Structures are given as C-alpha cells and as structure tokens.
Amino acid sequence: MSEQTEPVSQIETDKTEGQENTNVSEEYAYLDRGGFSSENFKIELRGLPKFYGIAELKKLMNNKLGLNTSKIKRPKNGSHWLYACFQNDEERTKAIAALNGYYWKGKTLIAEAAKPAPDPLVRKRKQEEDGTQNKKQKEGENKSQEERLKDAVTPYWDMPYEDQLKVKEHEIKNLLMKFDNDVWKIHKEKRGEIESNRKIYNGLSFELKPIEKSPITEGYRNKCEFTVGIDDETEQPTVGFRLGSYATGTVAVAPVSSLNHISEKMKKAVLVFQDFVRQSNMAPFSPADYSGYWRYLTVRESKSSGDLMLIIAMYQQDLTTEKMEELKKQLIEHFGTEESVACNIKSVYIELITKRRAGEDGSKPFHLTGSTHIIDTILGRQFRISPQAFFQTNTAGANILYQSAIDMSQVKSDTTVVDICCGTGTIGLCFAKHCDKVLGLELVAEAVMDAKANAELNGIKNCEFFTGKAESILPSVLARVTGNDVIAIVDPPRAGLHMRAVTQLRNTKKVKRL
C-alpha cells in the first residue's frame, strides 16, 4: 500500500507548489502591466537617527547628494528605517552608492535594494480563497457592509458622544504628560515647581481644561471627498466611501446613506452625481489596473447659506478633446435639472487628474457652471470658499475653536497678531476687531488672494497678508511690527512648522504669547 500512496503524495506536493508559484506570480503581476511603478526601483534605508523630518531627508537626498527620489514611505513617525523609490534602476543604483555608509546626524546609514511589495488586493483574494485570513480580517467579513463602512469612516460611531470625549481627553492628557516629563528631565531648576503644580492639576504641571463640545453631532461636515467605485454588494458604479484602503486589500465602495456626519443635502447631491456616472457608461477608475475614468467627488457645503459646491475629479484616459467638451456640456445640463437645484448645487468644477512631476503643483479644477465660490460664516465674518481653499470642516466647531483662541490669547486693542500659515485668513480675520493689526503669512499664493478678498468682503482694513515660506519671510514680517505686544498664532499643515521659523519665534522678544 505504501508504494501506491507515495506517488500520489508526490503529485499533490507538485500541484501545491505549482499553485503557490502561480499565487506568487499573480501578486507581482502589476509590475508587468506597463507604466511606471515605484515598487520596481525601491531601496531600504536603515540606521536613521531618532529625530529627523521627511522634508529634511528629501533635502539631503535630492539637493545635497543630487539624487532623484520619487517617493519616501515611512512605516511611522520616528522610524529608524524607510523605503525610498526612484524612477529607474540607474537612479536606484546611484542612491545606494551615495547613501550606504553615509554619516548623517551621528548615524551611519545602510542602503540596500528592496524587493517590491505584493499586490495587497490579489493577496487578500488568495487568502479568502485559501481560508488563511487573520482574526481581524475574519471578524470584518462577518460584519454588514454598513457596519464596515461606519468602522472605516466614523470609527466611534457606536460610542456615545460623552464617552468619545472621555477617550479623546485621556489621549490628550497622556500626550501632555509625556511632554511634561520631558520638560522635567531637561529643566532641573523647574522640577520643584513642576512637582508642586502636579498636585494641583491632577498629575500635570498646568491646567488642562475640558474639551469644548461640538454644538452639533450630526450632519456637521462641510466638506467630504467621496470615491467613485464599485459597490461590492450591488456591483453597480457607486459614489461613496471606500471600505478600506488598497493596502488592506479592498477597493470596494459603499453608499453613504447610513452615515450621520453628512447632511441630507450632501447625500442627495452625491446621488445626483451618481446618476450621471451610471448613465455615462464610463467606468469608475480602478486603482488595481489604472483603468476607468471617474475618481472622486468633493462636496463643499456652506452651513450658513446651504449652498453646495461640487468638484468632480476624473482621468481623461483615451477621451479626445472633442469628447471631453461634449462630456462637460452633459455635466452642465445634468446639474441644471430640478433635482440639482433642489439640492442647492450652486457651483460645479471639474478636475482632470494628471500625473504630477517633482516641483509641479498638479492639476487644478476648471469651473464648469454656477458661482466660482460659496460663502460661509464664522463668528459673524463671511468667508468665500473656492475649490482648493482650506476651511475648517466643522463650521460650528470652528466658531468655538476661534473664540477659544481669542479668549485665551488675552488680545488687547494695541496687540499685533501674527498669523503664521494663515491659509485664507479665517483665524486672523476673526481676531481683527479685537486687536490693532493682523499680519498673515501663507505659502500658497491662491490662499493669500482669498485672504485679501475675505478682508475686503468683511470691510476689514487692519490686515495684511504675505506670500512665502514662513521660515523665509517671518523675520521681515516681524520687522514691520511697531508695538510691543505681539501674539503669534501657529496653525501649520500636518508636517508642522519649519524649525527655523520656531527658532525665529523664540528669539523674537516682542512675541509675548503663542
């Protein structure tokens, strides 16, 4: 019997190995589809210092060492290793030669060629077929589409609002305690004062006030970016939110009707555009193979007027100029219907997505129909909102945020307010009636134009706005200050304020409060 069963066992083994090889080749098939993939020319960079910034590392690589990195992928902030991607093998080889053994910030770097990552979408499908998903994946599969969507978009959806505030307050306190401990370690002369204050302020050396609640907890979002994709239940083109990221192995999109942070008006506008997508017979864009046209829909809503702005983003792909012009006409006609008017859709833009090259700003929205902007109100001030303008996504929350900043700053009639990374001027313009002068700094020229228009819209005369990098123009702006009471407001993008700007603020004796 053993002689008969042995060959069978061998055949099964060969079959399994063949399946594994097929699975592996499918997971890397995306590399051979044509077109550029950063995964083809990737390096792993190890031995990085404890403190560094991505912008700082890019400057080292691209400016000082003359490399041409197209993307840097770091697993988390402060990680001692990361991936850097390049345009071709020659550039990758040059990078390895330049970086391997390079001494930077007290550390010797190690650079090696890295293998491309498997396609997460294909890997997940194989895991489902083989039944090899992990516990978290299996739990997700047992949930309804609606529950998975809520988990992805509003992770605290099943927690009472009061409990949400407690969780967030606990996280903030832990973060501040870490900061407090760092101050204790560095400033030995202040340890007695810190320890004394900790007995008063429940473990912190300063007072932490309770979180200011949002006055509304439903339909509060004034801006949402919806993905155009395929609903995994109906298999229909759908405008909604992704159930997960591509990295987690899903590109499915679910409808937004069950989500409570979006207004009913915004939901109706989404359905109006969804009708057009389905009637167009043009497929949604697929991140798996880069085919298809429709990518996403951004909806902006004025909470004061109820007006909506829509920005439709798509890939032109093989559409001729003539076909694109015809499509634009169809969109204008579609958004002129009674249904669109009932939703208060007052402004429509289209954005043709193009591949952005290093140093380029990327594609910009083109105005299709209606007004060029909508207007919303914060603390009695009106602000025009253009497609790419930054505006707090919770208008009611912004009223509380800005009023809190005004109250805590102890601003006086002779105070000069320096608003760093001012965007469209919302914070500074809300301060304007309480102070002598507002000086705003902003990198994006279009935002500065909006800030000046907002000042004019509100009849505000004591504000000036300047274009440039904060670290470059801050000294000259501060030199314009004549008074001795200066408040600096810092509300930078996620990357944070440049260290040079921080140093300049610390060295400016006129700045009394931050």
Instruction: Choose among 263, 349, 258: nearest CA to 303.
Output: 263
Confidence of residue 50 (pLDDT cuts 50, 70, 90): confident
Average pLDDT over residues 7-31: 45
Is the same domain home to 317 and 415?
no
Q: Assess whether pLDDT exceeds 90 at residue 126.
A: no
pLDDT tens, residue by residue, 440-498: 999 888 889 999 999 999 999 999 999 998 888 988 998 888 888 999 998 876 667 77
Higher pLDDT, 189 or 355: 189
Torsion of CA 262, 266, 270, 271, to 10 degrees: 100
Write the CB contacts of 197 (distance below 8 Å, at least 6 apart in sequence): 204, 205, 206
The domain spanning residue 500 has which CATH number? 3.40.50.150
Binding residues: 392, 442, 491
Q: Assess whether pLDDT exceeds 90 at residue 157.
A: yes
Higher pLDDT, 142 or 462: 462
Task: List alpha helices for 343-498, DSSP H.
Answer: 395-409, 426-431, 445-457, 470-478
Tell me, yes or no, whether 321 lies in a domain.
yes
User: What pLDDT, on the 0 to 100 scale, is given for residue 64?
Assistant: 92
Is the same domain home to 415 and 496?
yes
Tell me, yes or no, whether 354 lies in a domain.
yes
Higher pLDDT, 214 or 126: 214
Structural domains counted in the chain = 4
Torsion of CA 397, 400, 403, 407, to 10 degrees: -140
Binding residues for S-adenosyl-L-methionine: 392, 442, 491
Q: Which domain holds residue 485?
A: 404-513
C-beta neighbour count of 338 within 10 angstroms: 7
Tell me, yes or no, whether 260 lies in a domain.
yes
User: What pLDDT, on the 0 to 100 scale, is given for residue 250?
Assistant: 80
Tell me, yes or no, whether 497 lies in a domain.
yes
Range 395-398, long-range pairs (CB < 8 A, 24+ positions): 395/220, 395/222, 395/303, 395/304, 396/214, 396/215, 396/216, 396/220, 396/303, 397/214, 397/215, 397/220, 398/426
Is the same domain home to 412 and 298?
no
Confidence of residue 5 (pLDDT cuts 50, 70, 90): very low
Q: Assess whether pLDDT exceeds 70 at residue 36.
A: no
Task: List alpha helices for 345-488, DSSP H.
Answer: 395-409, 426-431, 445-457, 470-478
**Candidate from 122-136, 216-230, 316-330, 441-455 with smallest mean pLDDT:** 122-136
Separation of alpha carbons 422 and 444, rounded Å: 10
Highest mean pLDDT among 115-129, 131-145, 365-379: 365-379
Higher pLDDT, 279 or 357: 279
The domain spanning residue 90 has which CATH number? 3.30.70.330
Is the same domain home to 361 and 253?
yes
Is the same domain home to 171 and 228?
no
Show which of 92, 114, 136 is a domain's final residue. Answer: 114
Tell me, yes or no, whether 355 lies in a domain.
yes
Tell me, yes or no, whether 95 lies in a domain.
yes
End-to-end CA distance of the chain, in Å?
85
pLDDT tens, residue by residue, 240-284: 999 987 566 788 999 999 999 999 999 999 999 999 999 999 999
C-beta neighbour count of 22 within 10 angstroms: 11
Beta strands 237-242 and 308-314: pairing type? unpaired
Is the same domain home to 458 and 508?
yes
Highest mean pLDDT among 87-96, 133-142, 349-358: 87-96
Is the same domain home to 416 and 479?
yes
Higher pLDDT, 500 or 427: 427
User: What pLDDT, on the 0 to 100 scale, is given for residue 8?
Assistant: 33
Is the same domain home to 229 and 193?
no
Average pLDDT over residues 164-193: 94
User: What pLDDT, on the 0 to 100 scale, is given for residue 128?
Assistant: 61
The domain spanning residue 282 has which CATH number? 2.40.50.1070
Indicate the average pLDDT of the chain: 86
Is the same domain home to 366 and 232?
yes
Contact 440, 416 (CB under 8 A): no
Higher pLDDT, 122 or 474: 474
Is the same domain home to 358 and 414?
no
Tell me, yes or no, whether 290 lies in a domain.
yes
Is the same domain home to 332 and 233?
yes
Separation of alpha carbons 213 and 119, rounded Å: 42
Q: Assess whether pLDDT exceeds 80 at residue 85.
A: yes
User: What pLDDT, on the 0 to 100 scale, is given for residue 20?
Assistant: 45
Is the same domain home to 418 and 301?
no
Separation of alpha carbons 79 and 512, rounded Å: 35
Express as a percent the part of the chain with pLDDT over 70: 85
Separation of alpha carbons 441 and 425, rounded Å: 9
Q: Assess whether pLDDT exceeds 90 at residue 511.
A: no
Separation of alpha carbons 313 and 239, rounded Å: 12
Give 114's strand partners.
42
Tell me, yes or no, whether 313 lies in a domain.
yes
Q: Assess whether pLDDT exceeds 50 at residue 11.
A: no
Confidence of residue 54 (pLDDT cuts 50, 70, 90): confident
User: What pLDDT, on the 0 to 100 scale, is given for residue 248?
Assistant: 65
Q: Assess whether pLDDT exceeds 90 at residue 71.
A: no
Q: Assess whether pLDDT exceeds 90 at residue 287.
A: no
Q: Assess whether pLDDT exceeds 60 at residue 10.
A: no
Average pLDDT over residues 435-443: 94
Average pLDDT over residues 100-105: 94
